[in-house]
Structure 1
Amino acid sequence: MAKPLVVVESPAKAKTISKFLGSTFDVRASVGHVADLPSKGLAVDVENGFKPTYELTERGRQVVKDLKAALKDASELFLATDEDREGEAISWHLLENLKPKVPVKRMVFHEITAAAIDHAVNNPRGIDYGLVDAAETRRILDRLYGYEVSPVLWRRVNRGLSAGRVQSPSVRLIVQRERERIAFVSADYWDIELTTSTSPSFAATLVAVDGTRVATGRDFDANGRLAGGVVALDEASARSLATGLEQAEFTVRSVEEKPYRSSPRPPFMTSTLQQEGGRRLRLSSSQVMRVAQGLYENGYITYMRTDNNSLSEEAMTAVRAAVASEYGANFLTPQPRVYASKVKNAQEAHEAIRPTTPLRSPQQVRGELNSQELALYRLIWQRTLASQMADATGVTVSVRLGAVATDGRDGEFAASGTTITFPGYRQVYAAMATPQISDEGDDATSATEREALLPALATGDVVPVDSLEPEGHSTSPPARYTEASLVKRLEELGIGRPSTWASIIQTVQDRGYVWKKGQALVPTWTAFAVVGLLEQHFDDLVDYEFTARVETDLDAIAAGQRKKDEWLGEFYFGTRGPDGLTPAVDDGAMPGLKRLVEENLDHIDAAAINTFPLGQDSDGNEVVVKPGKFGPYVKRGEDTAGVPEDMAPDELTLDVALKLLAAPKSDEPIGELDGLPVFAKNGRFGPYVQWGTPDAPPPGFDKPKMSSLFATMSLDRITLADAEALLSLPRTLGHDPADGEPILANNGRYGPYVQKGKDYRSIDNEERLLTITLDEALALLAQPKVFRRGGQNMAAKGPLREFGTDPVSQRDVVAKDGRFGVYVTDGETNASIGRGDRIEAMTPERAYELLAIRREQVAAKGGPAKKSAAKRPTKKAPAKKAAAKKSAAKKSTS
């Protein structure tokens, strides 16, 4: 008997929907797009309405073949891909390639529940060709952008680079922030912290001297200049004032009470979910979206790509009922809270990201989700419930204390504390012990809202003082973007869409424009060159307002207000004036991508684009930094030196560059040993000496011998004798009299050691490697095995470092030394340390990120992504590679 064929995007979604539809439906997956533009060539006819030529993907060819076979026994076809531009385009491509002879219906839903699927089956619609046009315009636009601009970057900066409509403005934001950091001038200022001996004790900060406000960091501009009307204390002044106040009597000058009220944030949309996932769970934007995709496809949350933060009527009722049941009716707002989206160019097709109905608490789904999925689900659950809960209320008390120093100066101190009298929406976070990681997160408690108690004080009261501590501060440059803060900024500017941000951020890292230092996004010098070129010659293409306007135009195409081919013509050839020939000059006119490239290509000075001045040396010689094929380097005349790959642009000052230039050159030997040259070099993992060359290695070696410098050695002062001593390692000290095994002394990745077979013992300093005797080594080997890290001895199986509690698994994270090197672990997941990471300098956030990446890798390989791993389907073998080109038939506009 024929039955309906339902096509969704992913196998996971197909499996979940099959449970609701039962055996009367045949549910299959397209596995994403089945067709796309070819990987090479333009494949867009710019002279004939920008008609694209599509081809089936390697996977798509087999998918289409299988679906055609299934259609032979189908009664009707339901296209059930996501209800957004990309999902609509996938449905259209399926329709164009399957050419079904049975009725075709478009089936859409925002959550995967029995009720939602039943409603979607009974209320189908047709293909929305406005959405298809918008998706196709976006795809052609990106192809035109990359096809025309990327070759310019290849010729003027470096091969393999790429430009993109959203990618390039995103890199520009990161580069601009680094420029601000480079130009920033730090300023020093001091204040005094007073600690009382009251019960409870509290701290107060100096805020005024002789009635004039004491400067804080916000009173200095980026050039280190102080604003008027404030006084900046230096160290001497702060210390003398603190000394003069030690015997003074402090009295309360004022007490002010203000009511405190804090309201919950709206339910999550894509951008805020990515931001909070980054802040609280230390996940990258792409990781957040992958985990959310899995939760959606398995029926736990609603659709995760949305810029709407409203709840449906059904969801609102369920959420308010859950709040009343869990916390009591007094925790509910009298009327439902309705939130309006503040996103530029918001598309209101979907509601907010929330748990599916009927609602299930994190405790109810704990056994069904892995730790990463559960952590993200908990965030969504808390945010959704909190959005309909009452405000948190309390009282904030502000106190001013004052005293006169022995030198006559008057010092005034301020303190404040908040007492929460009713927790309101905070109760949902407190109940689940959610870590308050960020002071600026959407649900995190801010610095001004932390609950604190002050003793009962009245004006005129004498306050006993326990200590007065002068404290020095320095102003800080603007913080680099993290993935979360970059998403927030892109959202504010209206650049890109929620569905694109995660992939864009990953792309700029994969392309070598950006690397991560902890959570911060650091631009490379190549990014500086690319952004400089685009700003100087293609300013419109990286202009934030222009990029946002493109999104508005795509929305207009989706709504049928603009025609795809006409808009693409303006973008590519430029907007024409009333005569149809000359370029238009009004504010909304497009300059024309093709014209920009043709007019600018011959005027781009590659040398200037790739040169960044650092200053002049004492002789007036200019020192610059340049991106190179093998990494950035500094240059002074013909003198060059490589820049360490982990050095951020704002760290490369003139002094640092001069030190790099002063170091011995790797291509100039410092002497010879047994007739072979000895070099002193600086490598990825620090300075080292090398004996021989690849063409002429030392006797008995297949390649040059290398040895790292001791920590006490300097590359610019290394001598041939020092090099010979280093190259003597590993030293054979002799043989163990008991069994004849050789005893070695050597320097390793984690410090100096002696070795007998597979038995190792650490040595207290590197210099001792050159003098330790056989007897001393045997004595060390006779001692119990310990690790020495950071000056502390730890048991062999103990941790090298402790990082705290992982925000996803809620387990303690430590670093250990294993068979294949050092790794971080939470006892459930092990992750090797990453390229360029140093265990001594690693932050807890980086350790959590490595674990999150490892969990994804395990899940991607078919590992235990869920606790019920035994029930997971086996991973299918990949289809054989094949390619089939096909020109897409133009869809009917009737």
Structure 2
Amino acid sequence: MSKNLLIVESPAKAKTIEKYLGNDFKVLASVGHIRKDTKVDVHDNFAVTYEIDPDHKKVIAELKKASKDADTIWLATDEDREGESISWHLLEVLKLPKTTHRITFHEITKPALQEAIKNPRTVDMNMVSSQQARQTLDMLVGYDLSGVVRTKVPGAKSAGRVQSPALRLIVEREQEIERFNAKSSFKVTGKFSDQAANISDLDSSEIFEANLDKTTFATEEEAKFFLEQFKNANFKVQNLEKTEAKKANPVPLTTAALQIEANSRLGFSSKTTMSAAQGLYQSGHITYHRTDSLNLSNQALAEIANLIKTEFGENYLEVRRFHTKNASAQEAHESIRPTHIDVAVAGKNEYEKKLYQLIRSRTLATQMKNAVVAKTSLYLEADTVPNELFKATGEMVIFDGFLKVYGKSKDTTLPNLQIGDNVKRHILLAKQTFSKPPARYTEGSLVKKLEELGIGRPSTYASIINAIQVRNYVVKGESEGEPRDVLQLTLDESNQLSEQTISEKTGSTKGKLMPTPVGELVSNFLCENFKDIVDYDFTAGIEEKLDLIAEKKLTRLKMLRDFYGPFSDAIGASAMANRYNSATELGTDPKTGKKIYAKIGKNGGFLQLGENEKESGEKPIFIPLPKGKTVKTVTLEQALKQLELPVLPRSLGHAKDGTELIAANGPFGPFIKAGTHNIALSKINEAENPYHITLETAEALYQKKIDSILADWGDIKIINGPFGPYIKGPAIKPASGKGRARPNNAKIPKDRDPKSITREEAEEILLNSKAPAAKKASAKKTAAKKTPAKKSTTKKTAAKTKAKTTAKKS
């Protein structure tokens, strides 16, 4: 029996720690949070009701048994507020004394663990209160606000406290781009060489480029006139500037910087980065990956310095100490770095290995000298136009410093020319260029902006960005850009002036975050009706107040009261807001004289021919948007082509058994209606497009459906599904009589042969599978009686359990 029980969140972390602590310690994992917040009573000081997560019952039973057998218990969850909260829940559920040891560490190494065990503390209730305040805020906003947007905005699913300002950033950037009017101008560049070298090959490495300095031309005529003046012109070096410059090495990695760099250098999403970092931390390869600190420990600095001297030489080493500007960052914490800098490769998969390499090289770079570069600027002048200079720049690395391990350097060499030397002009180009709109956000640049505005916390950025994509409010662009004609004027070596039109791609959206039409509607609705929720300063102010709670400078109760009063008033006022009309009138159908609209519904965008049935008394025709188009980008011409598609539902013919096969569109997407069967069609496979699907394809899908039915008693069937055989019973109608009936399916026990089951046995299996659901419904009903809806904001959860705690902490 182990004398000590140490509890962490993650099984992977537990496995790594157990290697270092020996037989006296048993290390178990809580597997994240063991309780869920299910209800907030806004009239009882925002008391939170917690209930044990049903999925954690087995884990809790194991922890309770182990805690009774142990002499000493150590709570070793993560060092952030979320980790502190998990430790508090463990105290409550396991009924541990408040004096139970709480330890934290920045890295999973033997020395760090031993040091933490020497210096235990108790659970910090200020940090717990801060976490509870954040959780309560998110619950109140998420529940109340989501209900409003679902009612008022077509296609909306939910709204969140921190996700909404992030969505607003993306929407506002898109609106800036839409308002932007690109202006064209002509920029002049030339290709030159040392006249003494007598170069004739335009591909020669001796040829260098120079740009007309500080001058552009608004029109083609002005550019032509300018080039004409250089026929038979002689060029020489008018001025020469040589300087030395330093390239500063980078600072250590924080959580936000890691996400930005991984997105820029590796193309990782924030979610991928944080997942890989979590794996590296839990395996003991890097320090804690949720940090705002730039600090490096003395021991780490010594190890890094030793490696740099050994690998690259002492002339590359420059020990630096960094301090965090963020007042809320704790200098006792460390930046993200390898736990063992001498380990060159670490990680269990390619994502972790690439991220580890990035972290290691960045860490080394922070303690290496700046790079030194020599910069050369040549100014060329023609005798025919003496006041217009062409500038060529060259750069050579004199000392690579930190660039040895982090960053790229490419020498740009220029010929060894002096002032007064003659230069040969090969060609001059005047190329039409266009001003660029503001750049769309990537995940990396959005993280940078969120950090700059103080919205959210670096550890939450991944979940914020993921949430707005999962809700289909934002998508990542895939376009390489649209072709655009560009005019180019060329003055060649024989002084012939020519012009040509070349094509170039513009407006690439690949990897960029773009709002969907639904996302824009949601953001606009919130900006009009809930200004504070999407206000950047207000959201940043909430984060500051959460910090104050953690520092015991503000109470949770005061912070929640100050927030909820105005928020509750806004929720009440929003009841009077009109439902957003998402219709865009495209024009009129010449055949019918009816108007065509592009609209947004709960399943996305669509086209509508004719007015709504309530207004016209006639049912309009609904058709899908053309592939790759949105309600904002579809044109009347494209809509008219879509109207030529066959009207759904349409009969395809009859299967061999005489069943009519009908292609149709429903609330859940396209399907084939075959007698009593509805067969879902793929939204991706063009062969299953309901407008184009053939009888042959539909019949094959129908036959597959028939073959999957192992037994059919009408209202009850045994079906061989993609995850194995199951029983499908009659749909269960809501007790209220309102709303859509829910599926009534049951798994078949593994020891039963599906083909041998009788109808009576199938009914019994269905009945037994409904028993847990009935208990859940009963529990929910009881809770509803205890707490009137008007007095609380309630979050639906799986099941109530006996382990229930109401937190009334201030």
Tell me whether the two structures share a fold, i.e. TM-score over 0.5: yes
Residue 537 (structure 2) pairs with residue 545 (structure 1) = yes
Matched residues in 2 for 1:477 and 1:346: separation? 35
Matched residues in 1 for 2:682 and 2:139: separation? 49
2:603 alignment partner AA: F
Which residue number corresponds to residue 793 of structure 2? none
| Contact 2:654-2:661 at 8 Å conserved across structures | no
1:328-407 alignment, distance < 5 Å: 328-333=313-318, 336-343=319-326, 345-348=328-331, 350-356=333-339, 358-362=340-344, 365=345, 369-403=348-382
Q: Quote the offset at 1:885 in angstroms.
A: 5.2
1:434-583 alignment, distance < 5 Å: 443=407, 450-517=410-477, 518-573=510-565
Identity of aligned residues (%): 38
Residue 397 (structure 2) pairs with residue 420 (structure 1) = yes
Residue 283 (structure 1) aligned to one of 255, 268, 279: 268
SS of the counterpart of 1:54?
strand
1:30-41 alignment, distance < 5 Å: 30-38=30-38
Which residue number corresponds to residue 319 of structure 1? 304
1:588-603 alignment, distance < 5 Å: 592-602=566-576
SS of the counterpart of 1:466?
strand
Matched residues in 2 for 1:112 and 1:327: separation? 28
CA deviations on 1:493-549 (whole Å, 9 max, x unpaired) are: 000001110011111111111111231111111001100110001011100000000
| Contact 2:47-2:808 at 8 Å conserved across structures | no
CA deviations on 1:59-106 (whole Å, 9 max, x unpaired) are: 322211110000121011100001110000000000000013696100
| Contact 1:666-1:680 at 8 Å conserved across structures | no
CA deviations on 1:210-233 (whole Å, 9 max, x unpaired) are: xxx324xxxxxxxxxxxxxxx42x
User: How many residues get paired?
Assistant: 649
Quickly say closer, same or farther: Cα 1:109–1:614, change in 2 above 3 A.
farther
1:128-277 alignment, distance < 5 Å: 128-158=124-154, 161-198=157-194, 200-208=205-213, 213-215=214-216, 231-232=217-218, 234-239=219-224, 241-242=226-227, 244-277=229-262
Q: Quote the offset at 1:891 in angstroms.
A: 8.0
| Contact 2:192-2:210 at 8 Å conserved across structures | no
Which residue number corresponds to residue 10 of structure 1? 10
CA deviations on 1:579-622 (whole Å, 9 max, x unpaired) are: xxxxxxxxxxxxx11011112221x22144x346789999x999
1:728-877 alignment, distance < 5 Å: none
Q: Quote the offset at 1:889 in angstroms.
A: 5.3
| Contact 2:47-2:809 at 8 Å conserved across structures | no
Which residue number corresponds to residue 21 of structure 2? 21
| Contact 1:665-1:681 at 8 Å conserved across structures | no
Which residue number corresponds to residue 797 of structure 1? none
Q: Quote the offset at 1:644 in angstroms.
A: 4.2
1:584-623 alignment, distance < 5 Å: 592-602=566-576, 604-608=577-581, 610-611=582-583
Q: Which has the higher contact order (CA 8 A, sep 6+)?
A: 2
Q: Quote the offset at 1:702 in angstroms.
A: 9.6
Q: Quote the offset at 1:27 in angstroms.
A: 0.6
Which residue number corresponds to residue 55 of structure 1? 51
TM superposition score normalised by structure 2: 0.73
Matched residues in 1 for 2:597 and 2:193: separation? 56
| Contact 2:99-2:122 at 8 Å conserved across structures | no
Quickly say closer, same or farther: Cα 1:555–1:524, change in 2 above 3 A.
same
SS of the counterpart of 2:71?
strand
Q: Quote the offset at 1:255 in angstroms.
A: 1.4
Q: Quote the offset at 1:399 in angstroms.
A: 1.7
| Contact 1:666-1:682 at 8 Å conserved across structures | no
CA deviations on 1:156-211 (whole Å, 9 max, x unpaired) are: 11466111111111111111111112112122222232122347535434435xxx
Residue 123 (structure 2) pairs with residue 127 (structure 1) = yes
Matched residues in 1 for 2:373 and 2:54: separation? 61
Matched residues in 1 for 2:220 and 2:63: separation? 76
| Contact 2:254-2:291 at 8 Å conserved across structures | yes
SS of the counterpart of 1:72?
helix
Contiguous gaps of at least 5 residues in structure 2: 198-204, 478-509, 612-620, 698-771, 773-797
1:112 alignment partner AA: I
Matched residues in 1 for 2:650 and 2:229: separation? 63
Matched residues in 2 for 1:477 and 1:617: separation? 35
Quickly say closer, same or farther: Cα 1:643–1:256, change in 2 above 3 A.
farther
CA deviations on 1:271-293 (whole Å, 9 max, x unpaired) are: 11011111111111011001111
Residue 543 (structure 2) pairs with residue 626 (structure 1) = no
Quickly say closer, same or farther: Cα 1:612–1:301, change in 2 above 3 A.
farther
| Contact 2:129-2:549 at 8 Å conserved across structures | yes
Matched residues in 2 for 1:179 and 1:648: separation? 15
| Contact 2:45-2:808 at 8 Å conserved across structures | no
Quickly say closer, same or farther: Cα 1:477–1:55, change in 2 above 3 A.
same
Matched residues in 2 for 1:546 and 1:412: separation? 51
Which residue number corresponds to residue 307 of structure 1? 292
Which residue number corresponds to residue 105 of structure 1? 101
CA deviations on 1:682-739 (whole Å, 9 max, x unpaired) are: 99xxxxxx9xx95699xxx9999999999xxxx9xx9xxxx9xx97999xxxxxxxxx
Quickly say closer, same or farther: Cα 1:887–1:645, change in 2 above 3 A.
farther
Matched residues in 2 for 1:277 and 1:89: separation? 29
Matched residues in 2 for 1:706 and 1:566: separation? 50
Q: Quote the offset at 1:402 in angstroms.
A: 2.3
| Contact 2:35-2:51 at 8 Å conserved across structures | yes
1:55-74 alignment, distance < 5 Å: 55-74=51-70
Matched residues in 1 for 2:651 and 2:461: separation? 55
Residue 801 (structure 2) pairs with residue 884 (structure 1) = yes
Q: Quote the offset at 1:373 in angstroms.
A: 1.5
SS of the counterpart of 1:315?
helix
| Contact 1:624-1:635 at 8 Å conserved across structures | yes
1:247 alignment partner AA: N
Matched residues in 2 for 1:312 and 1:35: separation? 36
Contiguous gaps of at least 5 residues in structure 1: 216-230, 430-442, 574-591, 684-689, 731-879
CA deviations on 1:459-482 (whole Å, 9 max, x unpaired) are: 222111233233222223222111
Matched residues in 2 for 1:682 and 1:207: separation? 60
| Contact 2:440-2:512 at 8 Å conserved across structures | yes
Q: Quote the offset at 1:4 in angstroms.
A: 0.8
1:558 alignment partner AA: A
Let me know the Cα RMSD of the aligned residues. Answer: 3.9
| Contact 2:288-2:336 at 8 Å conserved across structures | yes
SS of the counterpart of 2:92?
helix
Which residue number corresponds to residue 853 of structure 1? none
SS of the counterpart of 1:464?
strand
SS of the counterpart of 2:243?
strand
Matched residues in 2 for 1:57 and 1:444: separation? 50
Quickly say closer, same or farther: Cα 1:477–1:562, change in 2 above 3 A.
same
TM superposition score normalised by structure 1: 0.66
| Contact 2:245-2:374 at 8 Å conserved across structures | yes
Matched residues in 2 for 1:556 and 1:658: separation? 58
CA deviations on 1:106-159 (whole Å, 9 max, x unpaired) are: 011000111000001111111111100000000000000011111111111146
| Contact 2:149-2:522 at 8 Å conserved across structures | yes
